[in-house]
Amino acid sequence: MNTQLSPFHLAIPVHNLEIARRFYTDILELKEGRSSEHWVDFDFYGHQLVIHEQEKSESSTVHHAAVDQKQVPIPHFGLVLPWNYWADFVAMLTSKNVSFEIAPYIRFKGKPGEQATLFFYDPSGNALEFKSFKNPGSLFDK
């Protein structure tokens, strides 16, 4: 298997394109790429994130799974950040009054896969997780 990391592509629904565009540019400070009246591309730390405007569905349900005695929103997406950047990222989000679904904390402390993590929602209810491993080589440790 090729171990070289390739950028991923992720497309997500948003209920209001302009509100979501401001969130991803102003709060997460992502650079905007191509766009149309119905979608916007972002440089998501070297990956391609596309927001697509879609009417809000009344049938959409938020699911959760128990992880480390917390209720983690499912589905979610995000990034694994460098350890020395994660705290600065938390400070940036806090300064912009981001409301955390799961506040920043250290998960699996003292165990294999110890990590810093946090969860929050975008304005359309898409759950995001940003985490960091003190030892990046432990990403898949059991």
The domain segmentation of the chain, as residue ranges, is 9-53, 64-138
Q: Domain 9-53 is in which class?
A: alpha beta
What is the tens place of the pLDDT at every residue in 52-111? 998 877 766 778 888 878 899 899 999 999 989 999 999 999 999 999 999 999 988 888
Would the CATH topology of 9-53 be identical to that of 64-138? yes
Q: Under CATH, what is the fold of the domain 64-138?
A: 2,3-Dihydroxybiphenyl 1,2-Dioxygenase; domain 1 (3.10.180)
What does DSSP say about strands 63-67 and 31-35: parallel, antiparallel, or unpaired?
unpaired
In the chain, DSSP assigns E strands to 9-14, 31-35, 39-44, 47-53, 63-67, 70-74, 76-80, 100-107, 115-121, 127-133
